[in-house]
Amino acid sequence: MEDWAEIRRLHRAEGMPVRAIARRLGMGRNTVRRALAAEGPPRYQRPAKGSIVDAAEPGICELLAQWPDMPATVIAERIGWERSLTVLKVRVRELRPLFAPPDPASRTEYRPGELAQCDLWFPPADVPLGAGQSGRPPVLVMVAGYSRVMAARMIPSRQSPDLLAGHWALISGLGAVPRALVWDNESAVGQWRGGRPVLTAATNAFRGTLGITVIQCRPRDPEAKGLVERANGYLETSFLPGRRFAGPADFNAQLADWLTRANTRQHRGLGCRPADRWEADKAAMLELPPVAPVTGWRLATRLPRDHYVRVDSNDYSVDPSVIGRNVEIAAGLEEVTVACQGHQLTRTFDTQREARDELSRIRHETNLGTYVRPSLETVNSYLDGYLKGALRGRRASTRRNYADALLPVRERLGTRPLQSISKADVEELMDWMLTAGRRRGGKPGTGLSGRSARLTLGRFSAALETAVLEGKLVRNVAKLVSPPEYIKRERDTWSKAEVRKFLAKASSDRLYAAWRLSLYGLRRGEVLGLRWSDIDLRAQTLTVSQARVLVEYRVRIEEPKSRNGKRTLPLDDELVAALTVLRKRQLDESAAAGAAYRSGLGGLEWYRGGEYVITDEAGTPVHPKWYSDEFGRLLRRAGLRRITLHDSRHTTLTLIEHAGVPISIISKWAGHYDSAFTQKTYVHASDDDLQRGQAALARIHKIV
């Protein structure tokens, strides 16, 4: 080695020729040439002696050619190997790749929101479970593919009810749903049968509610979900060492605290922190479903004489008063409840101290008369019963108004137990409505108006107030929530000049009489609900006895809106003349059409007879939506300032008030029950009216 190094130094550093180097070092010139031509220093290689396995190698290759996965122990048996298994296993390990098909595990890049890998980790640490027992419950681990954000939670068992309950706890904690969940061959999720994965019925129901895919990897293929496998190792080496746990709840509390820090650490593979990628990952995921999936244990049984029920392998005592009756058992991740006909009978606590404290609270509230018996009745179930009584005898449009107002409550809180609703839940409901609660009437996912949120809060508060009176709630938490700010839109009304311009333009329209009726202070439904039997042209009177309205996009016949809605109004000469012209025109149209006139009435679900005043040329009553749209088209042709059809009613009542008519008469004309409501809602002052006030004030201040 020294001679080789010196030869190369003399030649490269000092530039000596081969002959001079050979003479100086006393060696042959060919030896020098070989040293200079060599790519590395000379090595001594001992000639191979061979192995005792060499003779058996042909037999090993023959077996591997037919069965590439044959274990080394079976190969030893087949070839009659009697020597050490170690050298045989080494040779089999070297030869097997020559016969086994390639099974590469390539690296995969994930798109935001694409999937999350899931697995069960069994921590090698005993966790106290109560009653002097300890165990090692599984931990459900989930890793988002794009961001690598980890989520984990200890669950009671690996059985399907607990597994899916744990899944929902993790997903709802993330606030979004990955589009796919990747699992191994976990039996609670599904199994490979006949060369394809078959998911369990519970898993299919769970993924159907969330609208996602569950991908089940082939057996013995851990590389397919390497992210979560590495997360399991990370938990075992970074989270677990040096920790002690008081129970599963303490384990989850410590784990949640550690995960918060772990997700903000630099990830070598990503080159950034998982938390830095989370917002993009979450934005591409699906929204949480409006109705939470049914998870956990749901059992029903008849309570036996020993008044115990069993969930999994645990027994729970129940109030003996319901022995022999059917009870419903619901077991979640943290508690077990037993109910009979919706009344909760049993619940579990982590410690005896907690159970004693709860018993003391119940006894104290019972003595005060404020105790409310626990119940599992959901918000949806209670609202169904509440609306039956609250809407009895109400108009269909009013019933629809209540139902629509409570839709956000049903969507966000409907599956929750009524007694679990807190002020924070109602606050979150209001925030959601104002930011992303729109489902129709605009772009879905945008915020609703403050008026809609206030209406929902009012309806929900009224329902909870009734629940308090029924003894189902201790307090009405909705009353503690401040209603969202809402600035009421000032109604646009026309001046007398604008009304006259409109009537002049509409005088040539076929439905001129209808537009005069709308400017006579009648509601749209009252105008469209008029029949010729309601009008006495000789006596010049009009009787409002019904309304034709839209409810859920369907036309309905209803009673007038208020108790004073049924009324008889006098008609002026102009309106009588317009109605007379319309009546004559309809008779002419009927004569011209013959049997075809009014033939379309048979297809109208709401029609119960009578000749309606406002019809088309074929004698069919016009649709309410068309009537409003036609009013807008007529405005554009007249070049008038745009107002809604209902604003014409406000215009009429305002002009009547400005003419000096007492508010009590205006209220009766409008069909209102309360004249104060008419004054507050329907009478408006314009800028021109302020000029009248200025002139009156000038007269008052004038010094004679």
Using the predicted structure, report yes or no on whether residue 380 has a pLDDT greater than 60: yes
Residues contacting residue 341 through CB under 8 Å, at least 6 positions apart: none
Residues contacting residue 199 through CB under 8 Å, at least 6 positions apart: 189, 190, 207, 214, 216
Tokens 């009489």 appear where? Answer: 513
Are 614 and 518 in contact, with CB atoms under 8 Å apart? no
d(CA 681, CA 676): 8
d(CA 167, CA 142): 9
Task: Please write down the HEC assignment for all residues of 274-312.
Answer: HHHHHHHHHHHCECCCCCCCCCCEEEEEECCCCCEEEEC
Which residues are paired to 554 by β-bridges? 551
pLDDT at 117: 94
d(CA 495, CA 688): 9
Q: In CATH, which of 3.30.10.20, 1.25.10.10, 1.10.443.10, 1.10.287.130 is domain 506-643? A: 1.10.443.10
Dump the DSSP string for 505-518.
HHTTSTTHHHHHHH
Count other C-beta atoms under 10 Å from residue 303's C-beta: 21
d(CA 696, CA 691): 9
Residue pLDDT, tens place only, 481-502:
998 887 777 788 888 899 999 9
Residue pLDDT, tens place only, 21-49:
888 888 888 988 888 888 777 776 676 67
Token code pair at residue 90: 């080494």
Alpha helix locations (H) across 102-212? Answer: 160-174, 201-210
Using the predicted structure, report yes or no on whether residue 419 has a pLDDT greater than 60: yes
The HSE-up count of residue 693 (CA atoms within 13 Å, CB side) is 7
Are 34 and 28 in contact, with CB atoms under 8 Å apart? no
Percentage of the residues of the chain whose pLDDT score is greater than 70: 93
Q: How confident is the model at residue 350 (pLDDT cuts 50, 70, 90)?
A: low
C-alpha 496: how far from its chain's center?
A: 51
Helix (H, G, I), strand (E, B) or coil at 549: strand
Which residues are paired to 296 by β-bridges? none
Q: What is the pLDDT averaged over residues 360-368? A: 70
Which residues are paired to 547 by β-bridges? 558
Q: Give 206 or 366, the one with higher predicted confidence.
A: 206
Number of residues assigned to the chain: 704
pLDDT at 313: 79
Q: What is the pTM of this model?
A: 0.46
pLDDT at 349: 63
pLDDT at 35: 85
Token code pair at residue 91: 């040779």
Helix (H, G, I), strand (E, B) or coil at 351: coil
Are 117 and 227 in contact, with CB atoms under 8 Å apart? yes
C-alpha 10: how far from its chain's center?
A: 81
Using the predicted structure, report yes or no on whether residue 700 has a pLDDT greater than 70: no
What residue spans define the domains of the chain? 2-37, 54-98, 116-284, 297-368, 379-480, 506-643
Q: Angle, to 10 degrees, between the axis of helix 379-390 and the axis of helix 450-469?
A: 90
d(CA 125, CA 140): 15
pLDDT at 34: 86
pLDDT at 603: 82
d(CA 322, CA 338): 11
d(CA 427, CA 477): 10
* 271-to-233, 237, 267, 538 alpha-carbon distances in Å: 20, 21, 6, 90
Which of 366-375, 453-462, 465-474 is predicted least confidently?
366-375
pLDDT at 704: 44
Using the predicted structure, report yes or no on whether residue 104 has a pLDDT greater than 70: no
The dihedral sign for the CA sequence 409, 413, 417, 422: negative
Domain 379-480 matching CATH 2.30.40.10: the answer reads no
Which of 145-154, 213-222, 305-314, 336-345 is predicted least confidently?
336-345
Radius of gyration of the chain measured on its C-alpha atoms: 42
pLDDT at 312: 82
Residue pLDDT, tens place only, 182-236:
999 899 999 988 888 999 999 999 999 999 999 998 887 777 788 999 999 999 9
Tokens 């165990």 appear where? Answer: 135
pLDDT at 2: 82
Which of 145-149, 463-467, 552-556 is predicted least confidently?
552-556
Range 225-228 contact pairs with CB under 8 angstroms and sequence separation of 24 or more = 225/117, 225/118, 225/119, 225/182, 225/183, 225/184, 226/105, 227/117, 227/143, 227/145, 227/148, 228/117, 228/118, 228/119, 228/141, 228/142, 228/143, 228/182
Residue pLDDT, tens place only, 623-667:
999 999 999 999 999 899 999 999 999 999 888 888 888 998 988
d(CA 145, CA 285): 11
Nearest to 184 by CA among 150, 231, 225, 151: 225
Using the predicted structure, report yes or no on whether residue 389 has a pLDDT greater than 70: yes
Residue pLDDT, tens place only, 594-625:
888 888 888 888 888 889 999 999 999 999 99
* 344-to-37, 144, 367 alpha-carbon distances in Å: 92, 38, 20
Token code pair at residue 345: 């009978």
d(CA 67, CA 61): 10
* 157-to-160, 183, 222, 461 alpha-carbon distances in Å: 8, 17, 22, 40
Using the predicted structure, report yes or no on whether residue 376 has a pLDDT greater than 80: no
116-284: CATH number: 3.30.420.10
Percentage of the residues of the chain whose pLDDT score is greater than 90: 45
pLDDT at 228: 92
Residue pLDDT, tens place only, 236-291:
999 999 999 998 999 999 999 999 999 999 998 888 999 999 999 999 999 998 88
d(CA 343, CA 328): 10
* 651-to-298, 458, 521, 644, 692 alpha-carbon distances in Å: 60, 29, 8, 10, 18
The per-residue pLDDT of the chain, averaged, comes to 87
Count other C-beta atoms under 10 Å from residue 47's C-beta: 5
Count other C-beta atoms under 10 Å from residue 220's C-beta: 7
Are 686 and 493 in contact, with CB atoms under 8 Å apart? yes
